[in-house]
Structure 1
Amino acid sequence: MSDRGITQLSDLARLRGAPELSPASADRLRAELANALSQSSWFTVGVMAPSAEMALKTLRTLESSQGWDPLDLVETTEESGPAYLKANQKVGTIRIRIEHGLGEGVLISGHGDDETQPSTTWGPLPLDFF
């Protein structure tokens, strides 16, 4: 899937899987995402990947690119197949399970410390976005 028609983060919300992005589109979305992330206190991340290893590698790259402390892997799978990773900064954990039928990509949800700051989700972003 190409990035035709993807000009801002909100354009991704209609997609089931992450598009391939041109370098210019990726740079534009990274700048918009950096601004959006700065408005949140903490994050949850979902990674849909071809394997548990790829999902964890993608999360670790995201953590590093954002200067986030690495979260603790508390549950994973030894099975082969498409994986879904759920990371939660609030509780500091990562859980990975096999999940068939998903697209591929990264979903990031920003959260506030109270109900005055609504949760917002961005993505799906490509696995190599960060």
Structure 2
Amino acid sequence: MTTPASLSTLAALCGLRTAPELTAAARQALRSELDQRLAACEWFTVGVMAPSASQAVAALRACEKALGWEPLQAPGRETSDSEEGPVFLKGNQRTGHFLLRPESGLGCGLLITGHSSVAPEAEDTWGPFPLDFFA
């Protein structure tokens, strides 16, 4: 059985369907490890599985702010959080955009994928992190 105390490494999160509850110590350990992994990558994609569009966008914005990323835009939409019900948000730093679509049957959490043309061995997907991980 996985307990919050046993989830203090990125490898422990891999394969989970939904983000677990984390202790403060686990959050700190995960953030430290994640920061090291992110530093080896050039750009990122983000996936957010959330019960509502407003929660997905809030998780994206908190992630962007915490990591010093430029805010992604939702092309062709006046508001990016008008979807009701469960959603999946996919953000891409390379394009500068995010897309939001209704999606039921997913877990809940935030995934980050690091990309690198100079160090492909650094590329990976990390998470799922709780929606409030970067808050």
**Same structural fold, with TM-score higher than 0.5 when normalized by the shorter chain:** yes
Partner of 1:87: 91
Structure 1 window deviating more from structure 2 (23-32 vs 77-86): it is 77-86
Partner of 1:70: 71
Please identify runs of 4+ aligned residues in structure 1 that moved more than 2 A: 75-79
Q: CA deviation at 1:125?
A: 0.4
2:106 pairs with one of 99, 102, 107: 102
Do the aligned residues in 2 keep the contact of 1:6 with 1:12 (CA within 8 Å)? yes
Structure 2 stretches lacking a partner, 5+ long: none
Q: CA deviation at 1:81?
A: 0.5
Partner of 2:120: 117
Do the aligned residues in 2 keep the contact of 1:37 with 1:110 (CA within 8 Å)? yes
SS of structure 2 residue aligned to 1:34: helix
| Percent of aligned pairs with the same amino acid | 47
Distance 1:4 1:83, change over 3 A: same
Q: How many residues align?
A: 129
In structure 2, C-alpha distance between the alignment counterparts of 1:70 and 1:14, rounded to whole Å: 28
Do the aligned residues in 2 keep the contact of 1:77 with 1:98 (CA within 8 Å)? no
Counterparts of 1:23-38 in structure 2, within 5 Å, are: 23-38=24-39
Structure 1 stretches lacking a partner, 5+ long: none
Partner of 1:46: 47
Structure 1 window deviating more from structure 2 (68-77 vs 11-20): it is 68-77
Partner of 2:60: 59
Residue type of the alignment partner of 1:39: A
Do the aligned residues in 2 keep the contact of 1:47 with 1:86 (CA within 8 Å)? yes
Alignment RMSD: 1.6
Residue type of the alignment partner of 1:20: E
Do the aligned residues in 1 keep the contact of 2:54 with 2:82 (CA within 8 Å)? no
In structure 1, C-alpha distance between the alignment counterparts of 2:96 and 2:117, rounded to whole Å: 15
Q: CA deviation at 1:6?
A: 1.2
Residue type of the alignment partner of 2:111: L
